[in-house]
Structure 1
Amino acid sequence: MAWASIVAVLSSVLIFSAFSPGCSLSLNYYDKTCPHAESIIANAVKNAVSRDKTVPAALLRMHFHDCFIRGCDASLLLNSKGSNKAEKDGPPNRSVHAFYVIDNAKKELEAWCPGVVSCADILALAARDAVALSGGPSWDVPKGRKDGRTSKASETTTMPAPAFSISQLQQSFSQRGLSMDDLVALSGGHTLGFSHCSSFQNRIRSFNATHDIDPSINPSFAASLRGVCPKNSKAKNAGATMDPSSTTFDNTYYRLILQGKGLFSSDQALLNTPKTKDLVHKFASSQEAFNKAFVNSMIKMSSITGGQEIRKDCRVVN
């Protein structure tokens, strides 16, 4: 545990020195300089989604993973260069995909208004459009983020992990200025997408010295997961959808947790404190309450800023 707490302290120092919540964002940031910015980004997302239904989950995850390292500065989009391994090559990000959607939007924006719209803003807007196109809420995204110049794979170890306990989740979110309410609402993003077996394997085999299977998991659900993730299987794409309606933004995720069918330990852990449990019940019974909370928490998370420039190409610093 000593090592974990050293990592936590180091990561909180890193986080607070890298983020600058003082950077003011505004809803009308591009009204004069690039009035078509939002529609250009929306079209890029819409075109990609029409060909690939997994794009919304990918973009939402990409934005979340970007914001949690150095603030929402598009550092996740940078390619590794020379001896520097970038965030996108860190373990939690190796399965992040659909970077081309951001590239396509950026290319179009550079043709209309060169050097104006940051990659970080493109990603924040694309995540919003992804949710809306999946049947979820839409919202006004504050804009004016700058792009970061630093991207290190080593820093991705501070990402919240699928096996996190509720106290680890709370610490991770609070270091980024996010509350328990934000934690439960943003976890609802797991209504979209797919997970590889490696992210939940620990729950369905050799859980601990006493139990082979995590006692908090529904036994029939565990059996179905063991079926899709056979022991010692080397199948690269084996896994499970985050919930049965994995391309629709809804509140099924919370209802599944109440049935012991949360895919990750960190999902099921939301029942382990009275506050988070109450919120799971609230969101499970009201799509409207979930949508409202999710929007508020997305705006809060995506306002953690930290960049310095407007990149011409989202994959490389200027």
Structure 2
Amino acid sequence: MGTAKQNKPTAGGVALAVAACALCLLPAMARAQLRVGFYDATCPSAEALVRQAVAAAFARDAGLAAGLIRLHFHDCFVRGCDASVLLTVNPGGGKTEREAAPNNPSLRGFDVIDAAKAAVERSCPRTVSCADIVAFAARDSINLTGSVSYQVPAGRRDGRVSNETEALLNLPPPTSTAQILTDKFAAKNLTVQEMVVLSGAHTVGRSFCISFLNRIWNGTTPIVDAGLSPSYAALLRALCPSNATQTTPITTPMDPGSPNVLDNNYYKLLPRNMGLFFSDNQLRVDPAMAALVTAFAANETLWKERFAAAMVKMGRTEVQTGRCGEVRLNCSVVNPTSSSVELGSSASAVDEEGVAAS
């Protein structure tokens, strides 16, 4: 019986692996497979090591916390929370998410994820996914900037595709109307309330001029968007030249009052016409959204509780779990693999006789 075993999966085994992958991509099943304490037995130091890497980076540059929160968001909104935003090469060819205009050059924190991954690999090789590290790092950044603690269900696997076009299609731009925001978040199973809650992350971090340039300049002519305070617009024009581009290295805090503190000041700024982006102002002019803005401006504790819950829910978006995807050895590139492994890590998805593993 031992001689009957083969190292290569049979056609039936590969079919079972594909079926298993298709099943674990179903939203309900994927959510069920994520759990708090996923690495308790296989890598009990994983979350502590990520926390140390984030804390060290935060001590050098407090702004990195906002970058790591945004990194998680931009990852989850494109192909789900699968670390696809970290890839520098798409095996299928073409530009990656990381190269797309919404991410380049504004997205940051990649080096922090790499440092955390290196530490985890030294302790527990081939065990902790980059997607989970991104989720842990976002949680730790929220704790450092806002003293908000929550547990992260883990068990995500890393994807093998990263496509610039998908980033452009899925990420809500700063020019979004209330309807576009609603639709983009609904596509990820997030409600209007959760959209308004998560928008509060704009209370930390900075923005490049290009994201709001059309609110203060029409060509070379100064203008003031109807939803922007004239005095705030004047400050922004003094900072950002009319010919600023995607790569103009000028940034401004999204929340001028407390740019490195996760608080509810964002919601207090909106009624004063000091939402930096057109999309921010949409939360104020839409009646249903405006009611939520008022509630969160009045109650920071309420907003923080809902923000933590919304981050956990967002972190479950279209995840790959079980035998789908892979655990990358290097977060910026996919693992070397054969075509059979690409079908769902066949080495672990089927046993040597082609029977689905339990």
Counterpart in the other structure of 1:3: none
Deviation at 1:271, TM superposition (A): 1.5
Secondary structure of residue in 2 paired with 1:240: strand
Select the residue among 63, 88, 100 that pairs with 1:54. Answer: 63
> In the superposition, relative to structure 1, how do residues 283 and 73 fare at CA in structure 2: closer, same or farther (>3 Å)?
same
Q: Deviations over 1:255-301 (max 9, x none)?
A: 00111100000001002322211110011111101101101110110
The question of whether the paired residues in 2 share the 8 Å contact of 1:44 and 1:105 is answered with yes
Please identify runs of 4+ aligned residues in structure 1 that moved more than 4 A: none
Counterpart in the other structure of 2:6: none
The question of whether the paired residues in 2 share the 8 Å contact of 1:206 and 1:213 is answered with no
Q: 2:174 is matched by which residue type in structure 1?
A: P
Query: Unaligned regions of 5+ residues in structure 2, if any?
Result: 1-23, 336-358
Higher Rg of the two aligned structures: 2
Separation (CA, whole Å) in 2 of partners of 1:162 and 1:19:
30
Counterpart in the other structure of 1:167: 179
Q: How does 1:1-40 map to 2 (within 5 A)?
A: 20-21=26-27, 22-23=29-30, 24-40=33-49
Q: 1:128 is matched by which residue type in structure 2?
A: R
Q: Deviations over 1:203-230 (max 9, x none)?
A: 11229xxx93211111111111111112
Instruction: Say how many residue pairs are matched.
Output: 300
Counterpart in the other structure of 1:69: 78
Deviation at 1:120, TM superposition (A): 0.4
The answer to whether structure 1 residue 315 and structure 2 residue 332 are counterparts is: yes
Separation (CA, whole Å) in 2 of partners of 1:305 and 1:81:
19
Counterpart in the other structure of 1:88: 98
Q: Deviations over 1:131-173 (max 9, x none)?
A: 1111341100111011001001111112100000000000000
Separation (CA, whole Å) in 2 of partners of 1:136 and 1:254:
18
> In the superposition, relative to structure 1, how do residues 265 and 148 fare at CA in structure 2: closer, same or farther (>3 Å)?
same
Q: What TM-score do you get using the length of structure 1 for normalisation?
A: 0.90
Secondary structure of residue in 2 paired with 1:151: coil
Select the residue among 302, 317, 332 that pairs with 1:289. Answer: 302
Query: Unaligned regions of 5+ residues in structure 1, if any?
Result: 1-17
> In the superposition, relative to structure 1, how do residues 19 and 290 fare at CA in structure 2: closer, same or farther (>3 Å)?
farther
Counterpart in the other structure of 2:108: 97
Q: 2:304 is matched by which residue type in structure 1?
A: N
Counterpart in the other structure of 2:251: 239
Secondary structure of residue in 1 paired with 2:207: strand
Root-mean-square deviation (Å): 2.0
> In the superposition, relative to structure 1, how do residues 108 and 239 fare at CA in structure 2: closer, same or farther (>3 Å)?
closer
Select the residue among 119, 128, 131 that pairs with 1:117. Answer: 128
